Amino acid sequence: MIFEINYNIAIVHQNQSSVLSLNKEFEQNFELLQSKHVILCLDETQQINKEFLSAISDLSNKFENNNRSFVVVSAALSSDDWPEDIALAPTQQEAKDIIEMDEMQRDLGF
């Protein structure tokens, strides 16, 4: 897993298929990441199963409870096959746009 920190956004490149390693990496780096919005870029080979979606959902909720956005980036996934409670974007730029919209909504009290 590779972390890029840019101002208030952490871009995380997921290059491991193990849910255990995903959770472990986020736990080890949570202090650094907790004040950031997170963009999780999935590798094209990432296997999406119930266990993985559950882990992503838990991470997303953890950041959202801290008033931070959590967006998954994958051009290979369709929003039709993705849970509504986890933000999904096909590109990093669209993920940044989602984060900006989330910040505006928070500022307006939604």
pLDDT digits (tens, 9 = 90+) for 19-70: 888 888 899 999 989 999 999 999 887 878 889 899 999 999 999 999 999 9
**Using one digit for the tens of pLDDT, what is the confidence trace for 89-108?**
999 999 999 999 999 998 99
pLDDT value for 70? 97
| Secondary structure of the chain as H, E, C letters | CEEEEECCEEEEEECCCCHHHHHHHHHHCHHHHCCCEEEEEECCCCCCCHHHHHHHHHHHHHHHCCCCCEEEECCCCCHHHCCCCCEEECCHHHHHHHHHHHHHHHHCCC
This prediction's pTM? 0.91
Residue ranges covered by each domain of the chain = 2-107
Identify the CA nearest to 102 among candidates 36, 56, 45.
36
Asked whether 35 and 68 are in contact (CB, 8 A), the reply is: yes
How much is the pLDDT for 17? Answer: 63
Mean pLDDT, residues 67-85: 90
Domain 2-107 annotated CATH 3.30.750.24: yes
Section 74-91 average pLDDT: 89
Q: Can you name the residues that pair with 37 across neighbouring β-strands?
A: 9
